[in-house]
């Protein structure tokens, strides 16, 4: 299906959603005007893509989503994936066009979202907002210019499919890369239960049932995690119990080994592809120099460890010592970990339960970072100030934004509106007793007036985060919690560009 054919329907459905008949629509419109939004197939979307220019070079990729298996240190589990877990890293140079054909061989609808990229709206992969879902047995070709270098990733935007094996890294190289390094490694973190203790759909059902689902005859309560605590996350660290934590698809009993040599300078791109787990990462015997947050450069900061929420990415540089070192990703508040091994010289392989002191020294979060002068948004006055109030509770599982649980049948109800060209301030107000990794599609905002550029941010319980961005990418953009279970329960809304 081509962009446009679905979008006209979406617009009509969006307006029909305010009332069941023409009279009801008119009556409502007279007191609360419904904003008209630029649609994903609208001319401004195509114009924004033309303005990106591009090299004209096309990188072609085929992704087949299908029922597969994962090998967890010798035990296999059934899952859904693109084949390998993670999917083979997609790599191209900024300005190039990605043409990715997705063939859906799953027993369910799917899509692919290109997390963090400011791409053309109709390629963003959000069924109900930017495209029709890719039906069972069907294909869809995503094609867009990748304007901005950085560390990104891909995953479906349908149900809790993200909590299966359907994810991979997307690296957009800088043709004028200013950093110098000898090796580059991609580290994808994940929390895993699919095919082991159940499926993500079963987890969502149990969580939605709340205490009733846990105690009642319908559910065993086996997936719900109580008492995952983290001071760094302001209390409750997560809702879901996972039997495994993975780095690049492998559990600590069968870790990936990165081989290099002493004194080599390595760039590590770290991506949290988890669904309900923040990770605290460190490399034993080393300090990390943080160079990028969510793909965008920051003034370098040295740290021992980093706390990474779901959807966030950090790039770090390390200069390797001589020996064998554990790269540990602690599942924050959950008492378990993922592990990889860095081998630059002779030595014994560390045990799966090795402890490293770096994890409890300085732990960096985004508030320690500032965008580089090149990456920072130029100073200008703010036009509209918008608020996204996060609400809900673990017990009721009624996660919402601005008092509304997202309804895919009425995607534009409660949408936030901006006008193309505006400088927008968005206050993300967390009124809940739990942290949320808030993610805005299609834009890389800046934390307040002098913070890092990011597209996914940890918002602690009872706090507000103020971000600013330029409304320069028209379309309908999902804005949601990147805890996939919170998002599916309703903690999602749409940012739209008003036409008048
Ligand atoms: Cu959340």
> Residue 137 C-alpha to ligand 1 middle, in angstroms?
32
Averaged over 422-434, what is the pLDDT?
98
Look at residue 449 in the predicted model and tell me its pLDDT: 83
Averaged over 303-312, what is the pLDDT?
98
The candidate with the shortest Cα–Cα distance to 352, out of 437, 256, 448, is: 256
> Residue 427 C-alpha to ligand 1 middle, in angstroms?
16
> Residue 104 C-alpha to ligand 1 middle, in angstroms?
28
> Residue 460 C-alpha to ligand 1 middle, in angstroms?
10
pLDDT, tens digit, 9 for 90 and up, residues 231-285: 999 999 999 999 999 999 999 999 999 999 999 999 999 999 999 999 999 999 9
Averaged over 357-374, what is the pLDDT?
97
Predicted confidence (pLDDT) at residue 211 exceeds the cutoff of 80: no
Look at residue 202 in the predicted model and tell me its pLDDT: 95
> Residue 397 C-alpha to ligand 1 middle, in angstroms?
10
> Residue 33 C-alpha to ligand 1 middle, in angstroms?
30
> Residue 473 C-alpha to ligand 1 middle, in angstroms?
25
> Residue 210 C-alpha to ligand 1 middle, in angstroms?
15
Averaged over 203-230, what is the pLDDT?
73
> Residue 306 C-alpha to ligand 1 middle, in angstroms?
20
> Residue 434 C-alpha to ligand 1 middle, in angstroms?
7
> Residue 489 C-alpha to ligand 1 middle, in angstroms?
9
> Residue 204 C-alpha to ligand 1 middle, in angstroms?
13
Please, which pLDDT band fits residue 133 given cuts at 50, 70 and 90? Answer: very high
Please, which pLDDT band fits residue 225 given cuts at 50, 70 and 90? Answer: confident
pLDDT, tens digit, 9 for 90 and up, residues 2-49: 333 333 333 333 332 322 333 333 333 344 555 799 999 999 999 999
> Residue 447 C-alpha to ligand 1 middle, in angstroms?
19
> Residue 332 C-alpha to ligand 1 middle, in angstroms?
15
Look at residue 304 in the predicted model and tell me its pLDDT: 98
Please, which pLDDT band fits residue 210 given cuts at 50, 70 and 90? Answer: low
> Residue 181 C-alpha to ligand 1 middle, in angstroms?
36
> Residue 278 C-alpha to ligand 1 middle, in angstroms?
12
> Residue 26 C-alpha to ligand 1 middle, in angstroms?
36
> Residue 312 C-alpha to ligand 1 middle, in angstroms?
14
Residues 6+ apart with CB under 8 A from 29: 18
> Residue 496 C-alpha to ligand 1 middle, in angstroms?
21
> Residue 102 C-alpha to ligand 1 middle, in angstroms?
28
Q: What is the mean pLDDT of the chain?
A: 91
> Residue 207 C-alpha to ligand 1 middle, in angstroms?
13
Q: List domains and CATH numbers for the chain.
A: 5-46 (no CATH), 47-177 (2.60.40.420), 186-275+315-354 (2.60.40), 385-497 (2.60.40.420)
> Residue 487 C-alpha to ligand 1 middle, in angstroms?
7
pLDDT, tens digit, 9 for 90 and up, residues 53-69: 999 999 999 999 999 99
Look at residue 222 in the predicted model and tell me its pLDDT: 85
For Cα atoms 26, 32, 38, give the angle at the middle one, nearest 5 degrees.
85
pLDDT, tens digit, 9 for 90 and up, residues 374-410: 999 999 999 999 999 999 998 899 999 999 999 988 9
> Residue 406 C-alpha to ligand 1 middle, in angstroms?
13
Averaged over 76-81, what is the pLDDT?
98
pLDDT, tens digit, 9 for 90 and up, residues 313-349: 999 999 999 999 999 999 999 999 999 999 999 999 9
> Residue 437 C-alpha to ligand 1 middle, in angstroms?
6
> Residue 163 C-alpha to ligand 1 middle, in angstroms?
15
Please, which pLDDT band fits residue 216 given cuts at 50, 70 and 90? Answer: very low
Look at residue 226 in the predicted model and tell me its pLDDT: 82
> Residue 435 C-alpha to ligand 1 middle, in angstroms?
6
> Residue 255 C-alpha to ligand 1 middle, in angstroms?
30
Predicted confidence (pLDDT) at residue 371 exceeds the cutoff of 80: yes
> Residue 492 C-alpha to ligand 1 middle, in angstroms?
9
> Residue 485 C-alpha to ligand 1 middle, in angstroms?
8
> Residue 444 C-alpha to ligand 1 middle, in angstroms?
19
> Residue 198 C-alpha to ligand 1 middle, in angstroms?
21
Q: How far is CA 148 from CA 69, 173, 176, 362, 421, in A?
A: 34, 9, 12, 30, 19
* % of the chain surpassing 70 pLDDT: 91
């Amino acid at each position: 299906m081509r962009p446009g054919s679905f979008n006209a329907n979406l617009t009509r459905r969006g307006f029909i959603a305010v009332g069941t008949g023409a009279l009801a629509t008119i009556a409502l419109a007279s007191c609360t005007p419904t904003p008209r939004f630029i649609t994903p197939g609208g001319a401004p979307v195509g114009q924004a893509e033309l303005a990106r220019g591009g090299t004209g070079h096309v990188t072609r990729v085929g992704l087949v989503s299908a029922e597969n298996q994962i090998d967890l240190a010798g035990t296999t589990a059934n899952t859904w994936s693109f084949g390998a877990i993670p999917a083979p890293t997609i790599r191209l140079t900024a300005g190039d066009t990605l043409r990715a054909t997705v063939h859906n061989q799953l027993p369910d609808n799917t899509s692919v979202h290109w997390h963090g990229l400011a791409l053309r709206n109709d390629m963003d992969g959000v069924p109900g907002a930017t495209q029709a879902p890719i039906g069972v047995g069907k294909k869809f070709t995503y094609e867009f210019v990748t304007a901005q270098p950085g560390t990104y990733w891909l995953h479906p935007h349908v149900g809790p499919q993200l909590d299966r094996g359907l994810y991979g890294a997307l690296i957009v190289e800088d043709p004028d890369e200013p950093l110098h390094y000898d090796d580059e490694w991609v580290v994808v973190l994940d929390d895993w239960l699919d095919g082991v203790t159940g499926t993500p759909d079963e987890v969502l059902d149990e969580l939605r049932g709340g205490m009733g689902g846990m105690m009642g005859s319908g559910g065993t309560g086996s997936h719900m995690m109580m008492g995952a605590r983290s001071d760094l996350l302001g209390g409750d660290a997560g809702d879901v119990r996972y039997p495994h934590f993975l780095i690049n698809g492998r559990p600590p009993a069968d870790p990936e080994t990165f081989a290099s040599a002493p004194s080599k300078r390595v760039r590590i791109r770290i991506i949290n592809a988890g669904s309900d787990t923040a990770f605290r990462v460190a490399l034993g015997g080393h300090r990390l120099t943080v160079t990028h947050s969510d793909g965008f450069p920051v003034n370098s900061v040295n740290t021992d460890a980093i706390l990474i929420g779901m959807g966030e990415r950090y790039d770090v540089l390390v200069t390797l010592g001589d020996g064998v070192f554990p790269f540990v990703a602690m599942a924050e508040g959950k008492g378990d970990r993922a592990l990889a091994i860095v081998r630059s010289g002779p030595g014994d392989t560390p045990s799966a339960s090795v402890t490293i002191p770096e994890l409890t020294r300085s732990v960096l979060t985004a508030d320690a970072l500032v965008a580089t002068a090149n990456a920072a948004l130029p100073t200008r006055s703010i036009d509209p100030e918008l608020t996204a109030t996060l609400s809900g509770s673990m017990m009721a599982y009624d996660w919402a934004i601005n008092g509304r649980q997202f309804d895919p049948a009425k995607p534009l109800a409660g949408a936030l509106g901006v006008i193309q060209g505006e400088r927008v301030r968005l206050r993300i107000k967390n009124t809940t007793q739990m942290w949320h990794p808030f993610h805005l599609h299609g834009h890389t905002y800046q934390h307040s007036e002098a913070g890092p550029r990011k597209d996914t941010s940890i918002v602690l319980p009872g706090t507000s985060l103020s971000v600013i961005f330029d409304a320069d990418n028209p379309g309908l953009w999902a804005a949601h919690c990147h805890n996939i279970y919170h998002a599916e329960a309703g903690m999602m809304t749409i940012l739209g560009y008003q036409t008048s």
